[in-house]
Structure 1
Amino acid sequence: MTLTTIKVTREVRDLLKEQAAAEHRTLGEQIEYLVERGERERRFERLRQEIAATPPELLASYREETAWWDTLENG
């Protein structure tokens, strides 16, 4: 693994260090966590947009099918 240096303000560095310590992570692990969290949020935002763009008839079909599967699971 290659390491690198990034430039951030002291305030940001100190905040990251506080967050990392509170979660028992290293500073690098905290940055990785925040990057992964940001990626996850972007994926969910894309999913929300795709759901919003789904035609009503397809959304109704999906809801009917999932309701059917739920009856099997609970049934």
Structure 2
Amino acid sequence: MTMTTIKVSTELRDRLKEQAKAEHRTMGEQLEHLVGQHGRERDFAALREAMSRMTPDDWADYREETAWWDAVSAPVTD
């Protein structure tokens, strides 16, 4: 992995360093964590937006499909 330097304010650097230390991470690990967290938040926001536009028919289709998947993925008992 190649390394690089980024320019941030001293205040931001200190905040990141404090967060990283509290979470027992390196600065690089902390930045990766924050980027990943932001991506998850963005993905869930998009999911909530899509779900808010679903019609009652869409929800009925969703419930039918998830019931089907639940049925076919249930463990087989003897």
Q: Flag whether TM exceeds 0.5 (same fold).
A: yes
Match of 2:20 in 1: 20
Alignment RMSD (CA, Å):
2.0
Q: Please show how residues 26-41 of structure 1 align to structure 2 within 5 Å.
A: 26-41=26-41
Q: Percent identity?
A: 59
Deviating above 2 A after TM superposition, structure 1's stretches of 4 or more consecutive aligned residues are 60-69
Instruction: String of CA shifts for 1:14-71, please: whole Å, max 9, x gaps.
Output: 00000000000000000000000000000001100110111122114434665795xx
Match of 1:53 in 2: 53
**Normalising by the residue count of structure 1, what TM-score does the alignment of the two structures yield?**
0.80
**Could you list the runs of 5+ residues in structure 2 that have no partner in the other structure?**
none
Aligned length, in residue pairs: 72
Moved more, 54-63 or 6-15: 54-63
**Could you list the runs of 5+ residues in structure 1 that have no partner in the other structure?**
none
CA distance in 1 between partners of 2:65 and 2:6 (Å) = 49
CA distance in 2 between partners of 1:4 and 1:65 (Å) = 47
